[in-house]
Amino acid sequence: MKKIYLDNAATTPLADEVITEMVSAMKNFGNPSSTHSYGQEAKILIENVRRQVADDLKVTPAEIIFTSCGTESNNMIIKSCVRNLGVQRIITSPIEHKCVAETITEMRTRKNVEVVYLKPDKTGDISLDELEKTLKSSDVKTLVSLMHANNEIGNLLDIKKVATICKENGALFHSDTVQTIAHMDIDFSEIPVDFASCSAHKFHGPKGSGFAFIRKSSGLKSLITGGPQERSLRAGTENVAGIVGLGKAMELAMTNLDAYSKHIQEIKDYTIARITESVPGVRFNGRSAEAGASLYTVLSVLLPFKDPMIGMKLDMQGIAVSQGSACSSGASKPSMVMLMLLDDEELNATTPLRVSFSHLTTREEIDDLCEVLKKIASGHLIENVNG
Ligand code: PLP
């Protein structure tokens, strides 16, 4: 059976060039902390990637700390802000990724941190006026944690504006940039964000490799104690091949950014048009269908019928999509994002589906998806007519 992968916000296939570079790096087995030539050769591989990533983001190499993933980066930043920087209040939204949301909940229950949630409107946007008002309402040391692009609906946050508001009000700002780094041209010399996160497997790099951007002299400390690796911000022998893979994937992504983003936006526009004609009554969640206001890789579809088995039905036809984000798709209850955007009646009568693209996605694949959706939708229509 032909297989079609449309779940690129969950993870992406490894690029062949990345595999080649990683295999070569694996043969270089030295411990980067060793002072002999084996170790130093491994160290050079890591430092080259650090410099390359720092150049892409217009920061200094010392501000890039390699980690195992986006989850670890977000955990480290939020937890250390509370433990080491005296953060007593966190302003966030209820639609952050689980690794941010759960970490903040833990900070509330274990460390007594006050948590303020900015409720998104029905399009999934956060009010920046409300953010400013909340910041001004108290003098306690505050961390604002808001994601750059939502992984379910793709809504983009104006991080430059948020960072500026935070600076003006003396708050720290962390943005989960896992869905945007290497998908957008991000210049941190222009955006006064304090902390950000990245995960290589979201842009055709390996799983188990990411980094945290930590603004210089932030005072953050390592979650993992041990050796002085990563400027003492992340103890443990480095995943050299993973870091090299991240570097190659980021190089490919940034070199081809214009071509890839143009192709993917065209595919997204095509998908919106084809699904609209194939499934009468279909809607798109949040700002998902608005070019420019949402990430071009993600489309959140709201099918006008209830079908909790839709993911499985599509999978049986060889089509991989997500019924929410990867982290909540196994759960039977609606995701927090859908709970925020839809009322009970809508939740009971609809099915959300996240379709996410890469530069490898083709129109033919979208045609196949729409054919299957059309059949499933007409089945539901007949069911509804028959009562
Ligand atoms: N943040 C966002 C917005 C994500 O989409 C993901 C992955 O789904 C993560 C964080 C977690 O990244 P990782 O899988 O590298 O732990």
Give exposure, 309-348, as e/b (b: 16+ Cβ within 10 Å).
Answer: ebbeebeebebebbbbbbbbbeeeebbbbbebbbeeeebe
Question: Exposed, middle or buried, 129 (CB in 10 Å: 0-12/13-18/19+)?
Answer: exposed
237 CA → ligand 1 middle, Å? 23
Sketch the domain layout of the chain as residue ranges: 4-12+257-386, 16-255
User: Which among 151, 182, 174 has a CA at the least distance from the CA of 356?
Assistant: 151
98 CA → ligand 1 middle, Å? 8
pLDDT tens across the length of the chain (387 residues): 899 999 999 999 999 999 999 999 999 999 999 999 999 999 999 999 999 999 999 999 999 999 999 999 999 999 999 999 999 999 999 999 999 999 999 999 999 999 999 999 999 999 999 999 999 999 999 999 999 999 999 999 999 999 999 999 999 999 999 999 999 999 999 999 999 999 999 999 999 999 999 999 789 999 999 999 999 999 999 999 999 999 999 999 999 999 999 999 999 999 999 999 999 999 999 999 999 999 999 999 999 999 999 999 999 999 999 986 444 445 468 899 999 999 999 999 999 999 999 999 999 999 999 999 999 998 886 666 555
Please give the Cα distance from 52 to 124 (Å, whole number). 34
Please give the Cα distance from 364 to 341 (Å, whole number). 31
Amino acid at 228: P
Task: Kindly report the CATH class assigned to 16-255.
Answer: alpha beta
Please give the Cα distance from 76 to 200 (Å, whole number). 17
pLDDT of residue 311: 94
CA angle 195, 325, 258 (to 5 degrees): 65
Gap between the terminal Cα atoms of the chain: 34
78 CA → ligand 1 middle, Å? 15
Please give the Cα distance from 195 to 162 (Å, whole number). 13
Instruction: Indicate which atom in ligand 1 lies nearest the CA of residue 325.
Output: 8
Contact at 8 Å (CB) between 225 and 235? yes
pLDDT of residue 327: 43
pLDDT of residue 323: 87
Query: Catalytic amino acids?
Result: 327
Residue nearest to atom 4 of ligand 1 (CA): 178
CA angle 163, 54, 246 (to 5 degrees): 110
Ligand 1 first shell, C-beta below 6 A: 69-71, 97, 99, 147, 151, 176, 178-179, 199, 210, 326
Please give the Cα distance from 16 to 169 (Å, whole number). 46
pLDDT of residue 1: 87
202, 300, 322, best to mutate for ligand 1 pocket (most atoms within 8 Å of CB): 202
Give exposure, 136-154, as e/b (b: 16+ Cβ within 10 Å).
Answer: eeeeeebbbbbbbbbbbbb
Task: Kindly report the CATH class assigned to 4-12+257-386.
Answer: alpha beta
75, 147, 151, best to mutate for ligand 1 pocket (most atoms within 8 Å of CB): 151
Contact at 8 Å (CB) between 377 and 303? yes
Contact at 8 Å (CB) between 377 and 278? yes
